[in-house]
């Protein structure tokens, strides 16, 4: 009998991240809630945890910088799965707390961004206190450890978990908000394509080089590889230096994606592969004429014929 696998995640219990983890984790998984994203990922790097689940992207606020930056800040890790969780919020406090009692509210910055319109109209004088997750302030409030707030913005599960009372429900400004989460592991052999895959990578451009961004994008367009996400992140060593976090449609085992990677490696000072994995929507990739794997095989065969004098 083997020990149960340990998975780390952005905790504490009751976060949206735990809800995402439950979508892909084995039934016997042991949970390791962490105070922030870097801690959860470092638990995988140190081999204390088998995998980590962390937020990657929100449909309202965009990429989660703590995740995007940490994935390339230290020992390499790779994404092996993605999950989506619809985001709904309640305003919760200790039993008996009324809306008019609230002068301070705590939650994760992304949650605050998704609810600030409601707060502005209903509690315009309330102060915002940043939290490391949506559940951590709820846990602190329930334990009497809060500092300057009487209510939290969290999901209904967290409010129930920590014995808080819902003061108001449906407080999100966008009822259709969704957050994308990823499962992260240590690098290993890349799996086979599913036919509807996504590949994530980080690319740093040559510094102060005219046309560098266009040159990078042409590596994909020339091979018919579609980008589904591109975000700039500062390198961190000086002003004006950026790297780009990218999601592309396709798998690194596909000829056209490999050709794009070769082009990037030739023209960019840093290319970090962050994983190929099945896409959530499972939509087959539309491949432009002349850029399918079959077309690349035919082209390679033609070049071989040229070298041997068979196709002059």
Residue ranges of E strands in the chain: 6-10, 30-34, 51-58, 62-63, 78-86, 90-93, 104-107, 127-130, 151-154, 165-169, 178-185, 197-204, 227-234, 242-249, 270-278
Closest CA to 152 of 12, 18, 31: 12
* Secondary structure (DSSP) of 259-294: HHHHHHHHH-SEEEEEEEEE-SS-PPPPPPTT-SHH
> Band of the pLDDT at 311, cuts 50, 70, 90?
low
User: Could you count the other beta carbons within 10 Å of the beta carbon of residue 135?
Assistant: 29
The answer to whether the CB of 182 falls within 8 A of the CB of 104 is no
Longest dimension (CA), the chain: 86
Helices (H) and strands (E) in the chain, counts: 9, 15
> Band of the pLDDT at 312, cuts 50, 70, 90?
low
pLDDT digit string, tens, across residues 25-35: 998 999 999 99
pTM for this prediction: 0.81
Peptide bond into 80 cis (omega under 30): no
The answer to whether the CB of 9 falls within 8 A of the CB of 34 is yes
Higher pLDDT, 83 or 311: 83
**Strand, coil or helix: what is 95?**
coil
Per-residue pLDDT at 147: 75
pLDDT digit string, tens, across residues 257-294: 999 999 999 888 899 999 999 998 877 667 766 677 77
Closest CA to 271 of 292, 287, 248: 248
Residues 6 or more apart whose CB falls under 8 angstroms from that of 161 comprise 13, 14, 135, 138
């Amino acid at each position: 009998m083997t020990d149960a696998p340990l998975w780390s995640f952005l905790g504490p219990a009751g976060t949206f991240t735990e809800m995402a983890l439950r979508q892909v984790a084995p039934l016997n998984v042991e949970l390791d809630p962490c105070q922030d994203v870097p801690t959860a990922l470092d638990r995988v790097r140190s081999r204390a945890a088998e995998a980590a689940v962390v937020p990657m992207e929100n449909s309202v606020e965009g990429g989660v910088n703590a995740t995007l930056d940490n994935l390339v800040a230290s020992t390499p890790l790779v994404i092996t799965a993605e999950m989506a969780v619809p985001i709904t919020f309640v305003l919760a406090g200790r039993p008996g707390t009324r809306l008019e009692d609230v002068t301070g509210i705590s939650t994760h910055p992304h949650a605050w961004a998704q609810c600030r319109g409601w707060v502005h109209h209903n509690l315009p004088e309330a102060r915002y206190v940043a939290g490391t997750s949506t559940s951590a302030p709820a846990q602190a409030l329930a334990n009497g450890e809060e500092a300057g707030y009487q209510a939290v913005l969290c999901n209904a599960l967290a409010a129930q978990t920590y014995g808080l009372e819902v003061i108001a429900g449906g407080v999100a400004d966008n009822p259709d908000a969704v957050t994308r989460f990823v499962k992260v592991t240590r690098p290993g052999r890349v799996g086979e394509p599913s036919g509807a895959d996504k590949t994530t990578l980080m690319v740093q451009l040559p510094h102060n080089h005219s046309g560098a961004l266009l040159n990078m994008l042409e590596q994909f367009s020339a091979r018919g590889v579609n980008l589904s996400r591109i975000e700039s992140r500062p390198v961190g060593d000086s002003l004006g230096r950026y790297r780009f976090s990218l999601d592309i449609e396709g798998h690194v085992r596909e000829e056209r994606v490999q050709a794009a990677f070769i082009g990037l490696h030739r023209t960019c000072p840093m290319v970090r592969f962050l994983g190929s994995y099945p896409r959530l929507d499972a939509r087959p990739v539309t491949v432009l004429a002349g850029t399918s794997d079959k077309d690349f095989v035919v082209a390679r065969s033609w070049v071989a014929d040229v070298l041997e004098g068979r196709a002059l």
